[in-house]
């Protein structure tokens, strides 16, 4: 699994959200919005796949952990998860919102976790 920044959006400043993509173990590409690692941001996310990402000195993204965001967020659960990924070095949330069903989101999460050394 690896991040593949979208060249077509390089330099665009039309929004506060940057777009990127991740290539799963299957070879499929998943477009994500890149957001700050922030509790308020995290509590607003529903029906999505969330990757907590850290960046190394060269700017390469590494998935620290990944989870599904359900329809109704639990503040307590998300606060604990945020604290855990911050301790592990995450600095960004990468959010995939294009899957239209829970089953599809679970498939994507599994694809993005299969080869992730640190995912839990």
Beta-carbon-side half-sphere exposure of residue 101 (alpha carbons within 13 Å): 3
Q: Are 46 and 99 in contact (CB under 8 A)?
A: no
3-43 pLDDT, tens digit each: 987 865 555 555 556 899 999 999 999 999 999 999 999 99
Q: How far, CA to CA in Å, does 101 sit from each of 8, 47, 72, 104, 106?
A: 27, 8, 15, 5, 9
Q: What is the C-alpha to C-alpha distance for residues 103 and 111, in angstroms, rounded to an integer? A: 13
Q: Which one, of 42, 85, 25, lies nearest residue 33 by Cα? A: 42
First to last CA, the chain: 15
DSSP 15: S
Q: For the chain, what is the mean pLDDT? A: 88
Q: Specify the pLDDT at position 116.
A: 47
């Amino acid at each position: 699994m690896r991040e593949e920044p979208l060249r077509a959006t390089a330099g665009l400043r039309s929004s506060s959200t940057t777009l990127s993509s991740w290539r799963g173990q299957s070879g499929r590409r998943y477009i994500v919005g890149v957001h700050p690692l922030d509790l308020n941001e995290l509590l607003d996310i529903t029906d999505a796949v969330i990757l907590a990402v850290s960046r190394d000195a060269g700017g390469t993204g590494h998935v620290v952990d990944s989870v599904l965001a359900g329809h109704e967020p639990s503040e307590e659960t998300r606060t604990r998860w945020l604290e855990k990924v911050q301790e592990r070095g995450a600095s960004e949330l990468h959010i995939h919102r294009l899957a239209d069903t829970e089953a599809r989101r679970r498939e994507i999460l599994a694809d993005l976790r299969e080869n992730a050394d640190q995912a839990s």
